[in-house]
């Protein structure tokens, strides 16, 4: 009787035949609208199992078998998903198409019943066509990807759990080391050493302002290039003045004019790295902010009559491949909006870097016809700006090259040769839409190269060979050679990618974690290594040279890629790392000397004696103390900058440490105010309920999220995975 009733219900479509499981509620809402009544879409809220936080959790002697436990807060979600799974004919696991997503799918499959009817579906954009196509072609979980994620997780656990306690004993509690983060800090510290050691050299340039007979009063500039046929090298003001005096006595003639046409090709569409770099330069977004907003654009937003739709493809990718359908749509759009002469006869081809996962696509809009201005009303200002950046970059990548006319005029004045450069845009091509921004100009780059890259027109007036010019002014200018620039987020992401440190999904969390642990500081958009960062880096480099070696770290990343490709056994990879690492650890434990953790001088004054306050590390966390100790014993906890939310309290939330060493946060007016919480408060208002701060929560897999402290509100901003 009951079986007969269930069959009738299924025939009527009242019971879901397929259960689709994704990570986030936003993704679930978007996908749900693309599937019929025979599908039910549920969110697992990210990782459901991970290594335990309270212990090492890896059985090294038993082939590094991990001890997985349920992620706190996921028990209810798992119970609900299990219940739904029992009611479904088949289960479609649909987490993100990367290692982390594959691992989430595998953990779910291990927990769920009906293992024979569990499938994996993969898509790179959340649109109706992509979802329906994925559902039509379900596959199986890629165990090589799972093994690669598992190996990376265990590698990070080994380094984090073994090195961090050593730092606690030798430097101070609360410190940490990570397989990838420590190498990133080393890059910043070494750049600081380069800058400190750099000795600037003085040099001078001489520029002449000139006018020709047929230039209609238009003047132009020519820069001194050669003296007696040799490259001009001016090292002092005295030398520059002497040259200026000699030039004033000379007549200036046009010796030669050269013109050449130059094609300038568009940049490829975004990878994760390129997106983070360009968003940093153009929008001044941090890497983590870029990824947070890109996640929202990918998972789906309500866009008018279309409803919830994913606006961009998957944002964690190192590939610049583009689907042929997207290229065809872009070509049609370009012809309609700009004219046929702006569309190349065949779609452009871009070559991904070696090792890129070509199964993925670049970051692009899911439809070029969803123009930024059309969807602007449905997006936040930040979502709009990032979407516009992605949209214009992709569109420009599908357009014809720009045609530039480069003109150089050599000006002769006695033994001196000066050069004037001009640039004219004959055909804008892709530059009608987008020009890539650039970091600081490298030393030695000439003006012609710079202006060509910037795409800024600078047209020289009409000149003739042999024409005599009128000298209007001579401008000597002092310069000094510059040290290598400090890392901005864009430069650091580029360096991490070029060195092979980390992967697209890890750049943002690496940058975030090295700041949160006070190894580096960002001032005016540039990273500075702190005294603490340099101290820890020096110790690790001295005692763990291999772990801190850039090439070794890059080779380890390559090894993880080979595990994913099925060419390397994950257990062997871990064993080859673990055995020499443990020998080094034993030696370092014995030989590393204790280092007094440096004090950080603050701008605050002691309210009791007027002395300078310094930030110190204590048993119960960081605190401020008067530098005149022991004469003055005034101290106060380090504030988070967040106001206590208790009604009528004017206190600040400060960081403290319990007797067992666990960090927590409480009001500095304790015991008058007993407000406290375990999660770190962040000075950012909740957009849903208006709470004055969010809290930072770290998942078992190292992922960080910012969410409302009020459980009834439930607001959450997803972040990325961090190493230990």
Lowest-pLDDT range, 200-204, 224-228, 373-377, 644-648?
Answer: 644-648
What band does 722 get if pLDDT is binned at 50, 70 and 90? very low
Same domain as 617, residue 678: yes
- CATH number of the domain enclosing 182: 1.10.460.10
Q: Does 50 map to a domain? A: yes
CB 158 within 8 A of CB 575: no
> What are the structure tokens assigned to 588, written together?
């370092």
- CA atoms of 642 and 687, how far apart (whole Å): 17
- CATH number of the domain enclosing 348: 1.10.290.10
Q: How crowded is residue 310: how many other Cβ atoms within 10 Å of its Cβ?
A: 28
- 523 vs 163: which has the higher pLDDT: 163
Q: Does 724 map to a domain? A: no
Same domain as 617, residue 571: no
- CA atoms of 497 and 700, how far apart (whole Å): 26
Q: Does 284 map to a domain? A: yes
- CATH number of the domain enclosing 24: 3.40.50.140
Same domain as 604, residue 586: no
Same domain as 606, residue 708: yes
Mean pLDDT for the stretch of residues 294-323: 93
Query: What are the catalytic residues?
Result: 314
**pLDDT tens figures, 553-589:** 999 999 999 999 999 999 999 999 999 999 999 999 9
Q: Does 151 map to a domain? A: no
Q: Does 147 map to a domain? A: no
Mean pLDDT estimate for the chain: 88
Helix (H, G, I), strand (E, B) or coil at 97: coil
- CATH number of the domain enclosing 250: 2.70.20.10
Alpha helix (H) residue ranges in 137-180: 143-170
Lowest-pLDDT range, 5-9, 426-430, 558-562, 670-674?
Answer: 5-9
Same domain as 291, residue 252: no
- CA atoms of 638 and 640, how far apart (whole Å): 7
Alpha helix (H) residue ranges in 565-682: 570-591
Same domain as 19, residue 121: yes
Same domain as 407, residue 393: no
Q: What is the pLDDT of residue 720?
A: 45
Lowest-pLDDT range, 51-55, 130-134, 170-174, 397-401?
Answer: 170-174
Q: What is the pLDDT of residue 209?
A: 96
- Domain-ending residue, one of 591, 619, 647: 591
- CA atoms of 48 and 75, how far apart (whole Å): 8
Q: Does 654 map to a domain? A: yes
What band does 176 get if pLDDT is binned at 50, 70 and 90? confident
- Phi and psi at residue 408, to the nearest 5°: -125, 130
- Domain-ending residue, one of 480, 507, 538: 480
- Please say if the pLDDT value at position 80 is more than 80: yes
Q: Which residues pair with 19 in a beta bridge?
A: 40, 91
Q: Does 467 map to a domain? A: yes
Same domain as 620, residue 583: no
418's enclosing H/E stretch is strand 416-427
Q: What is the pLDDT of residue 687?
A: 76
- Domain-ending residue, one of 448, 480, 512: 480
Same domain as 137, residue 6: yes
Q: What is the pLDDT of residue 23?
A: 92
What band does 8 get if pLDDT is binned at 50, 70 and 90? very low
Same domain as 564, residue 523: yes
Domain span at 319 = 272-397
Count structural domains, the chain: 5
Q: What is the pLDDT of residue 291?
A: 94
Mean pLDDT for the stretch of residues 620-641: 81
What band does 446 get if pLDDT is binned at 50, 70 and 90? very low
Same domain as 673, residue 611: yes
Q: Does 188 map to a domain? A: yes
Helix (H, G, I), strand (E, B) or coil at 501: coil
Helix (H, G, I), strand (E, B) or coil at 360: coil
Residues of the chain with pLDDT > 90, as a percent, come to: 65
- CA atoms of 472 and 243, how far apart (whole Å): 16
How far, in Å, are 120, 175, 537 from residue 542 at the CA level? 46, 17, 8
Q: 3-state secondary structure string, 272-325?
A: HHHHHHHHHHHHCCCHHHHHHHHHHHHHCEECHHHCEECCEECCCCCCCCCCHH
Same domain as 284, residue 249: no
């Amino acid at each position: 009787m009951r079986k007969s009733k269930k069959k009738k219900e299924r025939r009527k479509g009242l019971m879901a035949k397929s259960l689709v499981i994704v990570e986030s509620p936003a993704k679930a809402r978007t996908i749900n609208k693309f599937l019929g009544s025979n599908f039910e879409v549920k969110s697992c809220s990210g990782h459901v199992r991970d290594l335990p936080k309270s212990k090492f959790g890896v059985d090294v002697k038993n082939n590094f078998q991990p001890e997985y436990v349920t992620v706190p807060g996921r028990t209810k979600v798992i119970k609900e998903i299990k219940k739904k799974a029992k009611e479904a004919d088949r289960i479609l696991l649909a987490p993100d198409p990367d290692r982390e997503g594959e691992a989430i799918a595998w953990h779910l499959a291990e927990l769920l019943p009906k293992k024979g009817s569990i499938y994996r579906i993969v898509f790179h954009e959340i649109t109706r066509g992509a979802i329906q196509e994925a559902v039509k072609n379900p596959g199986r979980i890629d165990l090589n990807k799972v093994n690669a994620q598992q190996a990376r997780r265990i590698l990070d656990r080994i380094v984090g759990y073994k090195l961090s306690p050593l730092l606690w004993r030798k430097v101070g509690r609360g410190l940490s080391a990570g397989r990838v983060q420590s190498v990133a800090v080393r890059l910043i510290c070494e750049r600081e050493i380069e800058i400190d050691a750099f000795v600037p050299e003085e040099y001078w340039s001489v520029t002449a302002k000139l006018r020709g007979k047929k230039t209609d009063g238009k003047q132009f500039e020519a820069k001194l290039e050669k003296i007696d046929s040799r490259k001009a090298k001016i090292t002092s003001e005295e030398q520059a003045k002497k040259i200026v005096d000699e030039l004033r006595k000379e007549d200036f003639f046009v010796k030669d004019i050269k013109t050449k046409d130059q094609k300038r090709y568009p940049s490829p569409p975004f990878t994760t790295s390129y997106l983070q770099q360009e968003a940093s330069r153009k929008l001044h977004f941090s890497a983590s902010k870029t990824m947070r907003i890109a996640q929202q654009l990918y998972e789906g937003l309500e866009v008018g009559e279309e409803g919830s739709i994913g606006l961009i493809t998957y944002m964690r990718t190192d590939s610049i491949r583009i689907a042929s359908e997207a290229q065809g749509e872009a070509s049609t759009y370009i012809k309609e909006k700009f004219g046929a002469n702006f569309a190349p006869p065949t779609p452009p081809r871009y070559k991904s870097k070696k090792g890129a996962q070509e199964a993925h696509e670049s970051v692009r809009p899911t439809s070029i016809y969803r123009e930024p201005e059309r969807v602007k009303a449905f997006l936040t200002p930040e979502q709009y700006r990032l979407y516009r950046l992605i949209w214009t970059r992709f569109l420009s990548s599908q357009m014809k090259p720009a045609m530039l006319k480069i003109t150089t005029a050599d000006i002769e004045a006695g033994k001196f040769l000066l050069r004037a450069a001009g640039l004219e845009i004959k055909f804008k091509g892709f530059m009608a839409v987008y020009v890539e921004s650039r970091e600081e100009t490298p030393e030695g780059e000439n003006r012609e190269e710079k202006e060509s890259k910037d795409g800024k027109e600078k047209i020289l007036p009409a000149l003739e060979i042999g024409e005599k010019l009128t000298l209007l002014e001579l401008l000597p200018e002092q310069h000094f050679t510059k040290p290598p620039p400090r890392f901005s987020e864009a430069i650091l992401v580029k360096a991490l990618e070029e060195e092979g440190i980390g992967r697209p999904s890890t750049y943002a969390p690496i940058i975030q974690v090295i700041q949160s642990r006070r190894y580096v500081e960002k001032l005016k958009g540039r990273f500075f290594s702190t005294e603490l960062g340099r101290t820890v880096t020096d110790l690790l480099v001295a005692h763990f040279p291999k772990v801190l070696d850039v090439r070794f770290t890059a080779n380890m990343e390559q090894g993880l890629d080979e595990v994913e490709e099925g060419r390397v056994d994950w257990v062997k990879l871990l064993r080859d790392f673990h055995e020499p690492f443990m020998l080094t650890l034993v030696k370092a434990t014995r030989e590393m000397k204790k280092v007094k953790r440096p004090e950080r001088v603050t701008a605050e004054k002691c309210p009791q004696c007027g002395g300078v306050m310094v930030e110190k590390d204590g048993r119960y966390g960081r605190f401020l103390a008067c530098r005149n100790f022991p004469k003055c014993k005034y101290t106060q906890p380090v504030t988070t900058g967040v106001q206590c939310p208790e009604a009528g309290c004017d206190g600040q939330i400060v960081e403290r440490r319990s007797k067992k060493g666990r960090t927590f946060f409480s009001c500095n007016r304790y015991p008058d105010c007993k407000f406290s919480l375990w999660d770190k408060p962040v000075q950012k208002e909740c957009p849903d309920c208006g709470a004055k701060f969010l809290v930072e929560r770290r998942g078992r897999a190292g992922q960080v999220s910012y969410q409302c402290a009020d459980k009834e509100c439930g607001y959450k901003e997803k972040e990325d995975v961090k190493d230990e």
